[in-house]
Structure 1
Amino acid sequence: MSLSDQHRFAMQVAQLSRSWRAELDRRLAGLGLSQARWLVLLHLARFDELPTQRQLAQSVGVEGPTLARLLDGLEAQGLVSRQAVPEDRRAKKIALSPQAQPLITEIEAISTQLRLELFSGITEEDLSCCQRVHAQILSNLEKR
């Protein structure tokens, strides 16, 4: 693969990521949540046990202070709560409130619909090939 092909591929991946997220953000705008906030809710919903604030920050891929500000806003909206950890006074576990579940269900439905639209016309074989390529690139990144 030539350097120009690699460059073009890298630019396409970056554009795909930005455009996909922008379209999802546009479709979710009516829910009154910023992209950062709905992303935190989705990550939080995927934990089997209540995560600490640090675990949630790692999952979302943001710094602790950034997550703290997002959680402040979500807490003010009544969507999450922070719970003390008895064995570590500094740690807080993050819980979804009951009001968050219908919102998460709607976010997931909108996200699923968009994904169905975006994957239209793509064969399983093409998708498998793309997944292998992306997995190899991610593996190469992790070796750094």
Structure 2
Amino acid sequence: MVDKKTHLCAVGIHLDVANRLWRSAMDKSVFQTAINHPHWLVLRAIIELGDGCTLTQVSTFLHSEISTCSRAIVFLEKNELITRQAVGEDMRAKSLFATDLGHAIHHEIDISAEKVRKKLLADITPEQLATFLHVLDSIKDKAARIIEQPLFISGNESLSDNNKNEDHENKKSVGSSR
């Protein structure tokens, strides 16, 4: 009999449920302002990456879609939590800067979030937390590598390899029908 808590198929479900419950606890306790979780993540990323970071850097840092980050940046700028400044001659490229208000909101939310984190992690030892974070880092690294690989259909053949084979077969059949 397989232990439901350690079965590999259940890992993804447990990660997803834990993430949703964590976010719900944070939303209920922390995000009582107009700023929501995606806005907070982008603001935090801008502060962590440092003044002058770009949308692409924020998106990469968060492993999030550029469009999601872009919408959050528009909100943060409208609410004067960040500013965007053109980079050199290219008016399309913008550097992002947290404003004093952005830093203040970040600090305020971080204090509230820390209280919730302490409640959620109260019965977990520092050693357990270190191990858990190590495991999560390993999963994130491996998932990022898988995402960067070509799409696989079956076996060891990638979608791009399959398309090459189909193109080659099509050229052979076109050539033989002439």
| TM-score for both structures, normalised by structure 1 | 0.85
1:46 aligns with 2:48: yes
Deviation at 1:103, TM superposition (A): 0.6
1:22 is aligned with what amino acid? S
Stretch moving more, 45-54 or 17-26: 45-54
For the residues of structure 2 that align with 1:61 and 1:139, how far apart are their CA atoms?
A: 11
Q: CA RMSD in A?
A: 2.1
Stretch moving more, 65-74 or 131-140: 131-140
Once the two structures are superposed, what CA deviation does each residue of 1:20-69 show, in whole Å capped at 9, x if it has no partner? 11211222232221211111111111123420122122223332233222
For the residues of structure 2 that align with 1:81 and 1:136, how far apart are their CA atoms?
A: 34
Aligned residues: 143
Higher relative contact order (CA 8 A, sep 6+): 1
Residues 135, 29 of structure 1: alpha-carbon distance in 2 compared, 3 angstrom cutoff: closer
Point out the structure with max Rg over C-alpha: 2
Judge conservation of contact 2:51–2:97 (CA < 8 Å) in 1: no
Unpaired segments ≥5 residues, structure 2 = 147-178
Equivalent residues in 2 for 1:100-139, closer than 5 Å: 100-139=102-141
Structure 1 match to 2:8: 6
Residues 93, 26 of structure 1: alpha-carbon distance in 2 compared, 3 angstrom cutoff: same
Consecutive aligned runs of 4 or more in structure 1 exceeding 4 Å deviation: none
Structure 2 match to 1:81: 83
For the residues of structure 2 that align with 1:84 and 1:115, how far apart are their CA atoms?
A: 37
| TM-score for both structures, normalised by structure 2 | 0.70
Aligned residue for 1:31, secondary structure, equals coil
